[in-house]
Amino acid sequence: MLAPYAYRVEDSRGRRYAEPSHPYRNDFQRDRDRVVHSRAFRRLENKTQVFSRRFSDHFRNRLTHTIEVAQISRTIAAELGLNEDLVEALALVHDVGHPPFGHAGERMLNEIMQQHGDFFDHNLHALRTVEQFEQRYADFPGLNLTFEVREGIVKHSRDYSASEFPQLSEYLLDLRPPLEAQLIDLTDEIAYSTADLDDGVEALILTREQVREGVPLFAAVSSEVERLHPNAPEKLKFNEALKSVLDRLVSDLISHTKEQVANAGVNSAGDVRRLAERLVAFSPEIDRERRQIKQFLYENLYYSSVLRADKEQGEQVIGELFAFFMSSPDDLPEGHQAKAQQEPLYRVVCDYLAGMTDNYVQEQHRRFCAGSRHLPV
């Protein structure tokens, strides 16, 4: 029951290393399963989304966030007639390249890498993870995912220039990704923006009244919740309003994308690729409300004084541990020492740190950096 513009598994460009077909799972289902069974996926449980475990076990981490993205993505994919297996695989793999300590860790690694004339990009690190670092099979390195999943890892949230990123030339950089990949970036934002409002209030960094005053969409749906549930506890009214916000974002993304597809006259996944712009999008009105939520979160949560200490500590841990391994490469695991014979040491150290969980990177910092201060190099 796929729509004409959906990506069909039989049209896949296949895997880097040929494999026989599976008797009862198609290739995108196998990709999904390989991601779920990977070590990188399991490590997401101990990687910060916004709050570290220090705050509460109830707050989202990278793993629970990823599951929420997958759930929202499959719902939307079904309504649009997209390939749900491909969408689910992309949703589950989209964050495996994130380093410890959330965006603070990513920012620090990128800052250090720029000092070496390079950069850190979590999407490209995710590609390296599934291509190189996951070693589960005797016949090939990595997970040997299909081209479409690897392409979606690279292109789901942005376009890359072939002149700036020649190493990615195989991923059709002059063409748009399929709708299944385009969807992930916006479902990711739907999931984290609503979840972060929820966790921010639970953490007592935000107040319910502050959210109502600072997020016009939330204020609008809160009025309706108050009318329907005047005697409900405030906590449950807030939950109902948050659910309505999520539903409004999801419903609009479905309806406006259908309109975009119809207006573009696409009748195949190939038509989608050849367009100048992406088709998956919110309507102008809802996109304005989406940006208001995002701005509110940046101003009142992500850069709040309460979270600042955690971010600064995370940046210090990564910076000092990076400097330590640059000066003492013999303390790297044997496999990474071997890789340093083939790649620049700074890249190997970056890859090693990016794969760590919050707990492990702190354990390594205590082991190697206690009693001395190593500055980023």
Q: Residue 257: CA atoms inside 13 Å, Cβ hemisphere, count?
A: 26
Alpha helices (runs of H) in 6-99, residue ranges in sequence order? 27-36, 39-43, 62-80, 84-93
% of the chain beyond a pLDDT of 70: 97
Average pLDDT across the chain, whole number: 95
- Taking only the tens place, the pLDDT of each residue in 234-258 is 999 999 999 999 999 999 999 999 9
At residue 377, does pLDDT exceed 50? Answer: no
47-71: average pLDDT: 88
- Contact 219/248 with Cβ under 8 angstroms? no
Residue with tokens 């101003």: 299
CATH topology of domain 26-306: Hypothetical protein af1432 (1.10.3210)
Distances (CA, A) of 48 to 33, 43, 94, 311: 23, 11, 15, 10
At residue 317, does pLDDT exceed 60? Answer: yes
Q: Residue 126: CA atoms inside 13 Å, Cβ hemisphere, count?
A: 26
Task: Return the SS3 of 267.
Answer: coil
- Taking only the tens place, the pLDDT of each residue in 267-279 is 999 999 999 999 9
Residues 6+ apart with CB under 8 A from 183: 73, 76, 77, 80, 82, 87, 280
- Contact 205/306 with Cβ under 8 angstroms? yes
- Taking only the tens place, the pLDDT of each residue in 119-160 is 999 999 999 999 999 999 999 999 999 999 999 999 999 999
At residue 88, does pLDDT exceed 90? Answer: yes
Predicted pLDDT of residue 370? 82
Predicted pLDDT of residue 372? 56
Decide: pTM greater than 0.85.
yes
- Taking only the tens place, the pLDDT of each residue in 339-360 is 999 999 999 999 999 999 999 9
